[in-house]
Amino acid sequence: MARIDDFQNAINLARDKLPYRDPKEMCRNAGAELSAPNGAKNIVFPFFVRKVRISYPEGTMVYDEGADSLSPQEQGLILHYLLGVNHLPLTGKLITFREIPSGEFYYQPFLKRAQVPLVNTFGSDHELFLKAGKKLGGKDMEMGDASMTFHPFPKIPITLILWKGDEEFSPQGTILFDSSIKNFLGGEDIAFLTDTTVYKLMAISRS
């Protein structure tokens, strides 16, 4: 299991790369805005339903509104998205986690940390799933018995799908991605982004 030191090292490595990237190009690719209040450059884009503000070239970040902070894991993920996303558009083709490069390697942790908690929490309560999903910015989809697509980042949709159980089968669920995600993030980041999505939904459902 990764330690906080590992996440901090990942943040530091990403911050080291940031000054060598053109901020305007990064913003075009990421679906972000470049602002310069008082001469200080900031890259601003939504992380789920809240905007984050990233200083350029330092790479420090805060939520645009609110006093709470981003975890080291979230900070690393946000920087990896900003550095990894490119000009390629979404394809509209949905793929499973296993179809992502290195997806097989991270598949068991992906199941344990994302897909299984999704089904255990919402498989028998689709109304709760849809209610929590709307608060996280989810859009209803016509797939399975209940489904929603979320945009944790502007160019990364994640679709969660649930099926009801019956006397013969237990509730089921799956998670799909636009195939373009392979061009933007690595398998470990995709796995973490997905379980972040699920755990944010779970936290909303308990509030």
| C-alpha of 196 from chain center | 7
Q: Are residues 101 and 200 in the same domain?
A: yes
Rounded to whole angstroms, how far apart are CA atoms 83 and 19? 11
Omega prior to 57 cis, within 30 of 0? yes
Residue-wise pLDDT tens digits, 126-153? 999 999 999 999 999 999 999 999 999 9
113: closest CA among 199, 205, 174? 199
Q: Are residues 112 and 194 in the same domain?
A: yes
Percent of the chain with pLDDT over 90: 87
Q: Are residues 138 and 72 in the same domain?
A: no
CATH of the domain at 125: 3.30.310
Rounded to whole angstroms, how far apart are CA atoms 78 and 59? 10
Indicate the pTM of the whole model.
0.94
* Structural domain boundaries, residue 188: 94-206
Strand, helix or coil at 139? strand
Run of H or E including 146: strand 146-153
- Phi then psi for residue 14, to 5 deg, are -65, -40
Q: Is 109 within the bounds of a domain? A: yes
Q: How many domains does the chain contain in total? A: 2
